[in-house]
Amino acid sequence: MDIVVCVKQVPDTWAEKKLNPSTQTLDRGGDNILNEMDEFAIEAALQLTEAHGGSVKVLSMGPEGASDAIRKALSMGVDAAVHVCDEALVGSDAVGTSLALAKALERIGAFDMVIAGSESSDSRTSVVPAMLAERLGLPQLTFVRKIEVDGSDVRVERMTDDGYQVVAASLPAVVSVIEKMNEPRYPSFKGIMAAKKKPVEHLTAADLGLDAGQVGLAGAWTAVADAANRPPRSAGTVVADDGNGGNALVEFLAGAKFV
């Protein structure tokens, strides 16, 4: 089976995130890494092809620097990659991103499954996989912790607030996975060296037939209207227990809407 994994380069999880004051979009000028949730998606794809045969390709939309994240995916064992890179795409929201990825997947052509992480650490919307499935007219299986493939059918365990659901669909399908899915493998030295020779196709917005007004900051359906820096930490409130400490504590928590 042939699988495409959607991956994203994001600011380092441990780095302090801030907005670009001129655009009110996330400042991506610092250290960037492969989105952690996407590593679980890559591992799921690799395990499926190891069990059923086939190939894995990663698809990423991002700046030139996203090639580092793509290279890591290739070093994990992915066979090839597609990198959508264009200044016209800068500032795209989930709607624009899903459109560009859908166009890229249509260009890639035949595939049995699209796998993505359930969310990216820079936005945490968890909506792109569902939007992608809608644009492609494919079944969507989201928040998945286990995947089983039997011929042209896929069966998954989908996490919910109170347990999990067993959901089935026909392939091709779009699947998003959670961190309970597996334990991503570490790139080996052999894998790192082999990644340098694996094919990476570069595409622009024009290659995908996208109009500049459909994507990017100007074409975004959502926007940050205003933002302010987090205020410095203030001194805490001391509640002295003079026999009425319990009541004073409850009043304080109620005033802060904690209870």
The number of folded domains in the chain is 1
Instruction: Using pLDDT thresholds of 50, 70 and 90, give the confidence band for residue 124.
Output: confident
Q: Which of 4, 5, 26, 6 is closest to 17 using CA atoms? A: 26
CA angle in degrees (0–180, nearest 5) for 211-119-206:
15
DSSP code at position 88: G
Ranges 2-6, 12-16, 71-75, 242-246: which has the least confidence:
12-16
Residue of higher predicted confidence among 216 and 167: 167
How much is the average pLDDT of 222-240?
81
63 vs 169: CA distance, rounded Å: 34
DSSP H helical segments within 109-156, as ranges?
128-136
Residue 14 falls inside a structural domain: yes
Residue 72 falls inside a structural domain: yes
Instruction: Using pLDDT thresholds of 50, 70 and 90, give the confidence band for residue 42.
Output: very high
Residue 109 falls inside a structural domain: yes
Phi and psi torsions of 169, nearest 5°: -155, 165
Report whether 81 contacts 73 (CB < 8 A). yes
Whether the pTM exceeds 0.75: the reply is yes
**CATH code for the domain of 201:** 3.40.50.620
Query: What pLDDT is stored for residue 224 in this prediction?
Result: 84
Residue 225 falls inside a structural domain: no
Report whether 84 contacts 66 (CB < 8 A). no
Residue 144 falls inside a structural domain: yes
pLDDT in tens, 214-226: 998 888 888 888 8
Residue 57 falls inside a structural domain: yes
How much is the average pLDDT of 177-189?
94
Query: What residue numbers bound the domain in which 61 lies?
Result: 2-214
| Integer-rounded Cα radius of gyration of the chain | 22
Q: H or E stretch including 252?
A: helix 245-255
Query: What pLDDT is stored for residue 213 in this prediction?
Result: 86
pLDDT in tens, 129-149: 999 999 999 999 999 999 999
Cβ within 8 Å of residue 156, ≥6 positions away: 141, 144, 145, 146, 147, 148, 166, 167, 168, 175
Q: Going along the chain, which residue ranges are E strands?
A: 2-7, 9-11, 19-20, 25-26, 32-34, 55-61, 80-84, 113-117, 140-150, 153-160, 163-170, 173-177, 200-203
The pair of three-digit structure tokens given for residue 8, joined into one six-digit string: 């994203």
Instruction: Using pLDDT thresholds of 50, 70 and 90, give the confidence band for residue 253.
Output: confident
Ranges 17-31, 33-47, 48-62, 117-131: which has the least confidence:
17-31
pLDDT in tens, 59-87: 999 999 899 999 999 999 999 999 999 99
Query: What pLDDT is stored for residue 193 in this prediction?
Result: 96
Residue 246 falls inside a structural domain: no
Residue 232 falls inside a structural domain: no
How much is the average pLDDT of 1-15?
90
